[in-house]
Amino acid sequence: MRISDITPETVEQILDSYPRLNFNQQITQLMVSQVKRKPQTATFTWLAEVGRCCIHGFVSPNWNDMLNSSPFAE
> pLDDT tens digits, residue range 30-53?
999 999 999 999 999 999 999 999
47 phi and psi angles, rounded to 5 deg: -65, -25
Nearest CA to 39 out of 50, 29, 28 is that of: 50
pLDDT of the residue at 45: 93
Residues 6+ apart with CB under 8 A from 58: 35, 39, 51, 52
pLDDT of the residue at 14: 93
Nearest CA to 14 out of 3, 22, 23 is that of: 3
Is residue 74's pLDDT more than 80? no
Residues 6+ apart with CB under 8 A from 53: none
The answer to whether 32 and 53 have CB atoms below 8 angstroms apart is no
